[in-house]
Structure 1
Amino acid sequence: MKFFLKKRYGQHLLKDKFIINKIISIINPKSSNIMVEIGPGLGALTIPMTKYNNFISVIEIDQNFVNYLKYNKKIIKSKVLIFSENALKFNFNILTKKYEKKIRIFGSLPYNIATTLIFYLFNNYINNIQDMNFIMQKEVVNTLTANTGEKNYGCLSIMAQFYCKIKSSIEIQPISFYPIPKVLSNMVYIKPHKKNPYKLHNTYLLKIIIQKAFSMRRKILRNSLKDLFSVDELNYFGIDYKIRAENVSISEYCQLAQYLELNSYSL
């Protein structure tokens, strides 16, 4: 097994059969779902998934794993389509056009690309995704799911929740992987909003606002957002200028972004 592992890809392979079965149960694949796995590795999730689903595509960057999967007799080739590609560059529209359905994405994501990957999906394919189930670093999941006022609430929480409903599923201990990682993992359920509750089209302006607010996290809004909003403008939206960035809700940040958009703000 050591032959397969490459440090640059941050590979940690699931080996705990109890956890694997629990993960499959949580994902709850239906035979007609279009399932897409990112980073299948040796097929720990892929192989049991074929018992429940007939349309599985896997995206794997490591050619050693690709070769292993191609010649593994446990993998039913009529059910599994293997792509030897980088998920960060993969065109997921290929699958939605092929099957004419939204896709369900799952996988154990390398810690070094997890947040980059989910935002690649948010920014490019959000309308073609039914849901996502990912295993990620627990600390990242805590941030993704954090609510207003909580210590983990920040830019990542806001942007992720702008696009999706997000829920933490199960904690996964390091011993469930090989090699054993130094951090705890968590499974997270991510479902794009059917109708986005935040009436905002310009997410670029939202990013500008929250980056400024959280770059000076310990300062009150009057100071952290002084280049964008006056005290009177914050008061207009019912936002107390004496609070800090973590105490402002997503809806309030979106209102501020919409205000900038209507007033033709540009850098």
Structure 2
Amino acid sequence: MAGFQGHRARKRFGQNFLQDPGMIRRIVRAIAPRGEDRLVEIGPGMGAITELLLEENRFLDVVELDRDLIPGLKVKFFNHSGFQVHEADALKFDFAGLRQGDEKLRVVGNLPYNISTPLIFHLLSFQGLIEDMHFMLQKEVVERLAASPGSGQWGRLSVMAQYYCQVEFLFEVPPECFNPRPKVDSAIVRLTPHTQRPFVAADEQLLADTVRLAFAQRRKTLRNNLKGVIAAEVLELLGIDPQRRPETLTLEEFVKLANHRLDTAWQPTQ
């Protein structure tokens, strides 16, 4: 491929390059660019999805960590005036700086498996600036994002993602669509930030802390995991059985616990 001669996927960057034309078209159809969208692609690689996005959309910013890929991307898309490359680590990137006005960002990416969860949490910190996000992730991560209470996949990532976004598991992407072939199955997920949240935490950091503590040891009960934070008697007063395990709690119940902690201005006992 012009500009990318001799480039090999790098394990330390978690690179698996999408190469199936039919699957690439299906992904772009799911994203549905609208011409003037402020699109942002994370980890464009050799530009397989990038190329089709630019056929449909005028503006595209890409964030790429592998500096060896950047010259090839600039050569391949030199005739697109709305195309901009940012050599950066997406985990530390200030996505707010990409806005030109009050328009919201539409974020897409084939996210490396080894950074997918922390990167999603980083992007959620910009959720007020984002219209939607379409990611290719390890299928297991997508299942966790889209999980329901009571399932084995329901956890910290599920609760926090669904607090901020509507989550849709769109479709699977088999290993043979990539070079090199990954050892895991992949899937496409759509995250759409809520315009109005179904449940509102008075302190979102306290919600995140409550969820983290509750899932600290999945096999233990709320009585044990929240010991010293919310007493068993208080859980009962809130209508939550202290013997329940964290994966049985709904998003609404987690918000209720966090709001109670704020209302009572809890301080740890010595």
Instruction: Return the offset for 1:216.
Output: 2.8
Runs of 5+ consecutive residues of structure 1 not aligned to the other structure? none
Instruction: Write the mapping of 1:54-69 to structure 2, written as runs, cut at 5 A.
Output: 54-69=58-73
2:53 pairs, out of 49, 52, 61, with 49
- Provide, for residues 57-85 of structure 1, a one-character-per-residue CA deviation record: whole Å limited to 9, x for no partner: 1111111111001111x553213111122
Give the deviation of 1:242 after TM superposition. 2.4
Find out whether 1:10 has 2:11 as its counterpart: no
Is 1:85–2:88 an aligned residue pair?
yes
Say yes or no: does 1:117 pair with 2:119: yes
Contact 1:54 1:79 in 2 (8 A): yes
Please tell me whether the aligned partners of residues 34 and 99 of structure 1 are also in contact (alpha carbons under 8 angstroms): no
- Alignment of 1:35 with 2:36, yes or no, is no
Deviation per residue, 1:153-201 (Å, 9 max, x gap): 1111111111111111110001101111000001000011112222213
Kindly tell me the number of residue pairs found equivalent between the two proteins: 264
Secondary structure at the residue paired with 1:188? Answer: strand
CA contact (8 A) 1:36 1:57 kept: yes
SS of 2:41's equivalent in the other structure is strand
Letter in 1 for 2:122: Y
Q: Is the 8 A contact 1:135 1:185 kept in 2?
A: yes
Alpha-carbon separation, structure 1, partners of 2:101 and 2:54: 17
Could you tell me the TM-score, scaled by structure 2's length? 0.93
The structure-2 alpha-carbon separation of the partners of 1:84 and 1:220, relative to structure 1 and needing over 3 Å to count, comes to: closer
Deviations 1:104-158 (A, max 9, x none): 00010111111111111112x1110000000000111111111110111111111
SS at structure 2 position matched to 1:57: strand
**Residue identity in the other structure for 1:163:** Y
Distance, in Å, in 2 between the alignment partners of 1:68 and 1:266 is: 56
Measure, in 2, the Cα distance between the counterparts of 1:100 and 1:213: 37
Output the CA distance in 2 between the equivalents of 1:180 and 1:2. 18
For the residues of structure 2 that align with 1:205 and 1:266, how far apart are their CA atoms? 13
Instruction: Tell me the equivalent position of 1:167.
Output: 168
Determine helix, strand or coil for the equivalent of 1:63.
Answer: coil
Determine helix, strand or coil for the equivalent of 2:227.
coil
Q: Is the 8 A contact 1:47 1:75 kept in 2?
A: no
Equivalent position of 1:71 in the other structure = 75
Q: What TM-score do you get using the length of structure 1 for normalisation? A: 0.94
Q: What is the match of residue 239 of structure 1?
A: 240
Distance 1:45 1:85 in 2: 19
Q: Report SS of the residue matched to 1:46.
A: helix
- For 1:29 and 1:202, how far apart are their aligned partners in 2? 35
Cα deviation for residue 46 of structure 1 reads 0.5
Listed as ranges, the gaps of 5+ residues in structure 2 are none
Q: Matches of 2:241 and 2:198 in 1, distance apart?
A: 23
User: Contact conserved, 2:230 with 2:261, CA < 8 A, in 1?
Assistant: no
Residue 204 of structure 1 and its aligned partner are, at CA, apart by 2.6
Displacement of 1:4 in angstroms is 4.0
Percent identical pairs in the alignment equals: 38
